[in-house]
């Protein structure tokens, strides 16, 4: 996954690029708007608005005019109007400085998921008795299909990306619902309860107190 980081401040760009590289992204840097517009087309753009040559809004507008790649505006301009302008010009999301690497990675994955560009662990993933077919958006338990709501499927698919790893509630809200979710977090509990009931094996989705959720070990039924 290729990420273009458009940021003229080396103190921000260098650690950000290094962190994204550790997370498995291929990173290209651009320090000016012109470099960003001349760079090879990436899979996602992190675009700072305060560039030394071309206004970041203009860069966003030109990038959007020629491509549908996801654009995340990174800005110190936290005012609501600045955010609205960025989104209206074609940005898919915005991140306000200062920010942490985990937030950036979560936002990238969330916007890729929403735009359908996220690379999946596997199109058809078999975990013991559980099968997750991301292309067809189908789930099978012991060979029988289980009908899930869109959010239930996305929640299960997120947990299945790294079985056994804990996914925080905040990450779940950002990636399955919305990176700017302002509603009650209780909605996660409601969907988890429904998902456990439909799967028929509540123990498969484990709650890690005060942290989040994880997909536990899923056994296979012995062959008959």
**Strands of 205-208's sheet in order across:** 167-168, 212-215, 205-208
For residue 136, give the 3-state DSSP assignment.
Answer: coil
How much is the pTM?
0.58
Residues 92-120: tens digit of each pLDDT: 888 888 888 878 888 888 788 776 665 54
Out of 70, 94, 115, a domain closes at 115
**107 and 139 both lie in a single domain:** no
**89 and 32 both lie in a single domain:** yes
The residue segments making up the domain with residue 198 are 124-215
Residues 37-91: tens digit of each pLDDT: 999 999 999 999 889 999 889 999 999 988 889 999 987 765 566 667 777 788 8
Identify whether 221 is part of a domain. Answer: no
CATH number at residue 32: 3.40.50.2300
**26 and 79 both lie in a single domain:** yes
| Distance (Å, whole) CA 63 – CA 120 | 26
Out of 62, 85, 115, a domain closes at 115
pLDDT at 129: 93
| Distance (Å, whole) CA 122 – CA 133 | 8
CATH number at residue 175: 1.10.10.10
Identify whether 130 is part of a domain. Answer: yes
- For the chain, the domain total comes to 2
Q: Tell me which residue of 91, 106, 94 sits closest to 61, measured CA to CA.
A: 91
**Cα of 35 vs its chain's centroid, Å:** 26
* pLDDT interval class at 223 (50, 70, 90): very low
Supply the angle between the helices 56-66 and 80-88 in degrees, to the nearest 10.
30
Q: Give the DSSP per-residue string, 192-207.
A: HHHHHHHHT-GGGEEE
**111 and 128 both lie in a single domain:** no
**17 and 91 both lie in a single domain:** yes
| Distance (Å, whole) CA 26 – CA 43 | 10
Out of 64, 92, 115, a domain closes at 115
**99 and 166 both lie in a single domain:** no
């Amino acid at each position: 996954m290729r990420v273009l980081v458009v940021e003229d401040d080396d103190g921000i760009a260098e650690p950000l690029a290094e962190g994204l590289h550790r997370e498995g992204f291929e990173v290209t840097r651009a320090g000016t708007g012109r470099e960003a517009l001349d760079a090879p087309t990436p899979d996602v753009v992190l675009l700072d608005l305060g560039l030394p040559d071309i206004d970041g809004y203009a860069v966003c507008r030109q990038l959007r005019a020629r491509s549908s790649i996801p654009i995340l505006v990174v800005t110190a301009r936290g005012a609501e109007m600045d955010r609205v302008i960025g989104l209206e010009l074609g940005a898919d999301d915005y991140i306000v400085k200062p920010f942490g690497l985990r937030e950036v990675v979560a936002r990238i994955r969330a916007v890729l998921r929403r735009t359908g560009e996220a690379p999946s662990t596997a199109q058809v993933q078999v975990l013991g008795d559980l099968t997750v077919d991301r292309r067809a958006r189908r789930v099978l338990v012991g060979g029988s299909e289980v009908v899930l709501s869109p959010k239930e499927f996305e929640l299960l698919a997120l947990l299945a990306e790294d079985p056994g790893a804990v996914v925080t509630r905040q990450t779940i809200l950002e990636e399955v619902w919305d990176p700017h979710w302002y509603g009650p977090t209780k909605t996660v509990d409601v969907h988890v309860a429904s998902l456990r009931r439909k799967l028929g094996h509540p123990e498969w989705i484990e709650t890690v107190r005060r942290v989040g959720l994880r997909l536990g070990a899923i056994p296979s039924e012995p062959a008959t």
